[in-house]
Structure 1
């Protein structure tokens, strides 16, 4: 069985803005070589950064990871089996990456911010892609990105195209700017774009209010309060310093809290703007014995287990409303916090993280993004010992493992799956691998119900793509939707790219076809952006399994009728290809004010090849 190599460009997109951090190298220097089976090399790229920043001292001539994000993503993709992995004593067990026998290479392209934002420069990103391709990697895991941009102006899109042209599969983060629509990044059709969802393990802490109401929260607080001891409860808005606003105080921003009002109490803070762990730090500085962190409305039911510096519980928006209601209508509100405990097989799971960036794809709406979702909330993986688990200067704790959340964490989960598929099917193209992952995904949670969004409503493909990844099923998808490099070049031609722009992607001159329809672009999902009366699209599938007869099943989007011809596909041999047409018709009385969604499934009794449908009236 061949051993493949993974390139990691592990950086992070923060909530609401892009923030890039460093790559791993200190895995070895801090004594973690057993966590990665083969760390075959690290490189750093800073010439683009230096051209902007000026002279760089020796601290910039290194690929070391000083803040942990790169270590975390690398070990998620390719970490070895490590018993006894835990975070501050919680979640103890054997950890491993998605492809534990892979050889991993790390390429550092991001540096400390200049003028608050400039950190990762296109020249450095493209240089890393070029070297990685030359190094012969098989998979690129890119937990890196920014605002969506036209492909010819996007270094990740350009670099990844050249990688895909060499047969390298590229996996990228969807971004952490959700839940707003149209925020998904890394939207090129040759990439696998990954959103973030939860898993069925939680780090739970329970809040008991004086009115006997009990609420379930999340936390990795190392410190605890005495069992069942109630403390006075106060809203941070009511604990503000006289010259501060209630809004800033409720967010528990630095310098807004009055210690005389907070001391000895459990403080209730609102999520948003400043960091979750820093809110607890401000509460601790003001003398609080504990903190309840309540979600804002956009964050919904997504709660995250952070390594808080005081006893703290992160609760949902609905539970937060219950807490504020109790505070507003109780003369002497009281509460206590339980100890944290690790819980397995929690339900429902998965559901979408509110921070995960959403479609539609604002660069090219006919390509549905994200493609897939994977675990990206409270993920345990290896961590640097150069900083504390909260990455704050005041945090003097050190731990070889940490939990982090983001599409940066879900991306390497899929990268690990890609590595396994590459080992099983070395002849599959990057598009075939993506198809296998997408068409075998599940849209159901562990209750057997549709996957929910953070608002407790059904998640749409603009949140979870084709669904939640199922690695074992992806190994035997039955049928695949394949695409070639020329298909991707034709896609660029359709967007009106000139010969000069196409040369950014193609190694040689390319002549655009006289006609090419995006409706027939062989993507595993189908998006119709301009349905006025009737539209027909064409797709082509290849048999990569045993001979069989596939029948169509359609869950039509509301207000739309969908027909497929032929409705039966019979495959007699491996590699056989067949074409079918899908016709969408607007129902006579339908009024579509936004996208509607459905599902098209080919099944032979063993394999179920699913394609999400997204339709909008023109």
Structure 2
């Protein structure tokens, strides 16, 4: 418990001092739902959101002898809404190609507790002499180890699976809704997150171990994708140190990379635009019959899947389907979203869709 007399606006850098100050209030100046990142300080510090900041600042202004104290109340469980897409999280659209929807997935990345080097202080300041065995950090670099760990878990359970199959399992089983059925929120907007914020959704390790179906892909599938993007042979050989050349005259299609999500660009020309995507599903679960369902969050795009039903009788059996997207024109830079799911009585194989008018 500490008395406090320092008040700091994080973004503006304003500090209000009071006599006998032995602590600090660190406050956000922008309302971002309930996201608060722990920041280690040299002074005892409490971090508050904008709503609390406004109330505290009003109290300080109207009370010249303002005083406060804070106490640690322990770890809080079941805080809602949770999870939410963090403000620092990487966002789409993909700057290199609209055919690949990015990001793929989200994972825990705020206030992550982990082992800490004795070479540095918890604040990372040179003048801080303290050393700790554990520290908390936030960032996409914190989310990456979570996903990597789940990928290793899947590889141990399924040693014959390719990297693409593991990626597919992670993406198609991710969740994008809370237990109450509402969509995951984006801390920046306070509104439901789009696939440009959460990709396929939040990683679900248990479900990813048994996804039912996977979108598999080989090294050559990705090389063909690079050919479709007009990469030269010399460009590709900087990435793939083996003999490979794009075949002249071959019709390479970026749309047909067997990816677990769909990035669908449309021209802004007037009238209708029709594009077709082909995907192959591999059965890695029990024999099931799957039925497809689609959702387009815009009247400008119609989605048709053929066939609408797939029956798998054996392990590693493959089935091909096509998706036809029919779109009307929209202004340049418009983005809309949808979903495609294959469902059986046991599995749901989800894929997000991003539509862009370029």
- Fold-level similarity (TM above 0.5): yes
CA contact (8 A) 1:438 1:467 kept: yes
Aligned residues: 349
Is the aligned partner of 1:578 residue 2:310? no
Q: What SS does the corresponding residue of 1:438 show, helix, strand or coil?
A: helix
Q: Of 462, 467, 470, which aligns to 2:201? A: 467
Is the aligned partner of 1:536 residue 2:276? yes
Q: Which residue number corresponds to residue 353 of structure 2?
A: 613
CA contact (8 A) 1:355 1:406 kept: yes
Q: Which residue number corresponds to residue 196 of structure 1?
A: none
Query: Structure 1 residues 498, 412: CA separation in 2 closer, same or farther (over 3 Å shift)?
Result: same
Please give the alpha-carbon distance, in whole angstroms, between the structure 1 residues aligned to 2:267 and 2:344: 30
Is the aligned partner of 1:334 residue 2:70? no
Is the aligned partner of 1:558 residue 2:298? yes
Please give the alpha-carbon distance, in whole angstroms, between the structure 2 residues aligned to 1:327 and 1:584: 58
Moved more, 486-495 or 554-563: 554-563
CA contact (8 A) 1:542 1:575 kept: yes
* Residue 512 (structure 1) shift: 1.3
Is the aligned partner of 1:515 residue 2:251? yes
Q: What SS does the corresponding residue of 1:308 show, helix, strand or coil?
A: coil
Please give the alpha-carbon distance, in whole angstroms, between the structure 1 residues aligned to 2:179 and 2:68: 31
Deviations 1:382-418 (A, max 9, x none): 1112222111112222221111111111101111111
Please give the alpha-carbon distance, in whole angstroms, between the structure 2 residues aligned to 1:537 and 1:319: 50
Question: What stretches of structure 2 of length at least 5 have no aligned partner?
Answer: none
CA contact (8 A) 2:6 2:17 kept: no
* Residue 584 (structure 1) shift: 1.7
CA contact (8 A) 2:8 2:27 kept: no
* Residue 318 (structure 1) shift: 4.1
Deviations 1:296-315 (A, max 9, x none): 43866421123333232222
Please give the alpha-carbon distance, in whole angstroms, between the structure 1 residues aligned to 2:267 and 2:222: 24
Please give the alpha-carbon distance, in whole angstroms, between the structure 2 residues aligned to 1:232 and 1:389: 23
Q: Which residue number corresponds to residue 412 of structure 1?
A: 145
Q: Of 62, 83, 94, which aligns to 1:350? A: 83
Is the aligned partner of 1:527 residue 2:272? no
Please give the alpha-carbon distance, in whole angstroms, between the structure 1 residues aligned to 2:135 and 2:5: 32
Q: Which residue number corresponds to residue 403 of structure 1?
A: 136
What pairs up with 1:353-372 in 2 under 5 angstroms? 353-372=86-105
Query: Structure 1 residues 567, 225: CA separation in 2 closer, same or farther (over 3 Å shift)?
Result: same
Query: Structure 1 residues 393, 581: CA separation in 2 closer, same or farther (over 3 Å shift)?
Result: same
Query: Structure 1 residues 333, 451: CA separation in 2 closer, same or farther (over 3 Å shift)?
Result: farther
Please give the alpha-carbon distance, in whole angstroms, between the structure 2 residues aligned to 1:585 and 1:298: 39
Q: What SS does the corresponding residue of 1:549 show, helix, strand or coil?
A: strand
Please give the alpha-carbon distance, in whole angstroms, between the structure 1 residues aligned to 2:180 and 2:65: 36
Give 4+ residue runs of structure 1 displaced > 6 Å after superposition: none
Q: Of 484, 491, 494, which aligns to 2:218? A: 484
* Residue 446 (structure 1) shift: 4.8
CA contact (8 A) 1:594 1:616 kept: yes
* Residue 343 (structure 1) shift: 1.1
Q: Which residue number corresponds to residue 569 of structure 1?
A: 310
Please give the alpha-carbon distance, in whole angstroms, between the structure 2 residues aligned to 1:343 and 1:495: 49
Deviations 1:284-343 (A, max 9, x none): xxx743322222438664211233332322222344344445556x35483524212211
Is the aligned partner of 1:225 residue 2:2? yes
TM-score, normalised with respect to structure 1: 0.53
Q: What SS does the corresponding residue of 1:483 show, helix, strand or coil?
A: coil
TM-score, normalised with respect to structure 2: 0.89
Query: Structure 1 residues 507, 234: CA separation in 2 closer, same or farther (over 3 Å shift)?
Result: closer
Q: Which residue number corresponds to residue 389 of structure 1?
A: 122
Q: Which residue number corresponds to residue 262 of structure 1?
A: 17
CA contact (8 A) 1:235 1:327 kept: no
What pairs up with 1:176-325 in 2 under 5 angstroms? 224-225=1-2, 250-252=12-14, 262-264=17-19, 288-297=21-30, 301-324=34-57
Please give the alpha-carbon distance, in whole angstroms, between the structure 1 residues aligned to 2:69 and 2:110: 22
CA contact (8 A) 2:59 2:66 kept: no
* Residue 377 (structure 1) shift: 0.7
Please give the alpha-carbon distance, in whole angstroms, between the structure 1 residues aligned to 2:50 and 2:98: 32
Q: What SS does the corresponding residue of 1:313 show, helix, strand or coil?
A: strand
Q: What SS does the corresponding residue of 2:305 show, helix, strand or coil?
A: strand
* Residue 235 (structure 1) shift: 6.4
Q: Which residue number corresponds to residue 199 of structure 1?
A: none
Query: Structure 1 residues 485, 617: CA separation in 2 closer, same or farther (over 3 Å shift)?
Result: same
